Amino acid sequence: MPDAGAAPALQREALHFLPLGGAGEIGMNLNLYACRGKWLMVDLGITFAGDTLPGIDVIMPDPAFIEERRDDLLAIVLTHAHEDHLGAVAYLWPRLRCPVYATPFAAAVLREKLRDEKLLAEVPLTEVALSGRLDLDPFALTFISLTHSIPEPNALLIETPFGRVMHTGDWKIDPDPLVGAPLDEAACRQAGEAGVLALVGDSTNATVEGESGSEGAVRERLAALIAEREKGIAVTLFASNVARLESVALAAQAAGREPVLVGRSLQRYVRAARASGYLEGVRLLTEDEGAPLHKSQVVYLCTGCQGEPRAAMARIAGDAHPRVSLGDGDTVIFSSKIIPGNERTIGSLHNRLLRQGVEVITEKDEHVHVSGHPCRDELRRMYQWIRPQIAVPVHGETRHMRAHGELAGALQVPQPLLVENGDLVRLAPGEAGVVGRATAGRLALDGGQIVATDHVSIGARRKLMHNGAVFVSVVVDRGGHTLVSPQVSGRGILDGEGEEEARDTVAAAVADAVDALPRKQARDEAALEEAARRAVRRALKESHGKRPVIDVQVARVPG
């Protein structure tokens, strides 16, 4: 295996931090800490691919750097159960083969994923109690309960011989979280009083003044909106937001309706929640159980709030769902935010629903969503509690992390550091700073295979998507001269009405190029194919300004 990035400034008697995912982007978190020759991984998540990677749904950080050092990797410790923090474990664990630790809900979610990948019996997964402690010499970790948009979000207080690090994970300050433990302000304050070297923290909302808001207020508004309507109602939301799911279910029951789960990921999170002691006494029907009921008797809880094409809401909007149909006078509530980059996809989904006469309600219309990440007032409170010497913003785009760092500096944090994926940061001893670089790449889940995002097959798909493909069949005699006019067809180019003349032009260009080959080259199949390919490329660049994928088949007739 090639070197995945040397770290020449890595010192044994020091504490280092190395992000390989999630610094400069939202999602795909992979954080590493190094001390006395040992490594600790915090989170291992995914992000979702966009239009630039056709055929790819899931992107994950490349763990090659730590894979080369896996004999010294003590564990993967998960802060919470969101996909961008644990979603890659089931795909990448076989490369790392170390213990995994998580609190009960995250462990339950991960078990579902490991079962799908047939790794459940192989991965050493250990549950850690809420507010529990974990000793992994030279690291000692204390889990501190925070609040977020999912049960059991944890900060990790990481104690080392060189100082303590507060790794926040994702969090907010929610005075009424509805599901799960409240934020443990006392533990945060105690950590600050004992002394914290560095806070490595969430930057997602660092540009937003004020506070993120409470789930309790959203529950009240959802209940009112559902009670006001008489026809069909669907609510689409993040499947992991158990509190929001519970709010919709209770609102449905209060309005005399049955809550029906539509989408596999919702069912998965419900199973994990029930296994962890949440949603007790909350009635939720499956699609099969809800099928006999009229849409006015139910509230559908649907996956697909980000416009995912295979999710339930997109299928409903396309009138392609086998059990759920919405139309004139019905309502869809998007109880979610628009993740940056998904604006066009979600807008298209809204338009399809509106064309069917469906009322669409979003967070811009009603108070049906609150963020799970801290706004600036919440960040200020956390820094007042922790009072670190160093601030390392992560979990955000560069603009978010820069705003976070500037806020930390204004709050008298002596050393705010702006880092990006691959920066090796020495936290102690001495002044903190970037002291080296490691390769921080990306991998794609391509069907059942994990490949680099610049893999040749992905590049070929991208080229096909933008430029189409041309297929050429050439029949030549023994000496390499064409016997009949080459056959030319296309996909995405040369396949429209009125393209016959263009196809004939390409065929003539191919015949001329093949017949002009010197006798020696004309007897070489590879030379014939290349001559034909060059002729197609020249002809289409001149006529269409395109460079399609070109497939040439040469058949030689003996005689």
- Domains recognised in the chain with CATH numbers: 15-210+371-452 (3.60.15.10), 215-361 (3.40.50.10710), 468-556 (3.10.20.580)
Q: How far is the C-alpha of 422 from the C-alpha of 67, rounded, in Å? A: 14
Residue 377's pLDDT is 98
Check: CB of residue 130 under 8 Å from CB of residue 152.
yes
Paired with 390 in beta bridges are 198, 415
pTM summary value: 0.86
HSE-CB at 486 with a 13 A cutoff on CA atoms is: 35
Residue 232's pLDDT is 97
**Sheet with strand 469-476: strands edge to edge:** 487-491, 469-476, 549-556
Identify the DSSP state of 486. P
Residue 519 has pLDDT above 90, yes or no: no
Check: CB of residue 120 under 8 Å from CB of residue 142.
no
For 435, the token pair is 């002291």
Using the structure block, give the residue that is written with the tokens 């799960």: 180
Check: CB of residue 56 under 8 Å from CB of residue 48.
no
Give 383's contacts (C-beta < 8 A, 6+ positions apart). 199, 391, 407, 408, 411, 413
Q: Is 364 exposed, middle or buried (0-12, 13-18, 19+ CB in 10 A)?
A: exposed
Check: CB of residue 539 under 8 Å from CB of residue 507.
no
pLDDT band at 7 (very low <50, low <70, confident <90, very high): very low
55-64, 202-211, 308-317: which range is least confident on average?
Answer: 55-64
Q: How far is the C-alpha of 395 from the C-alpha of 80, rounded, in Å? A: 14
Q: What is the mean pLDDT of residues 339-343?
A: 80
Taking Cα atoms as reference points, which of 328, 275, 283 lies closest to residue 301? 283
456-477: pLDDT as tens digits: 566 666 666 677 888 999 998 8
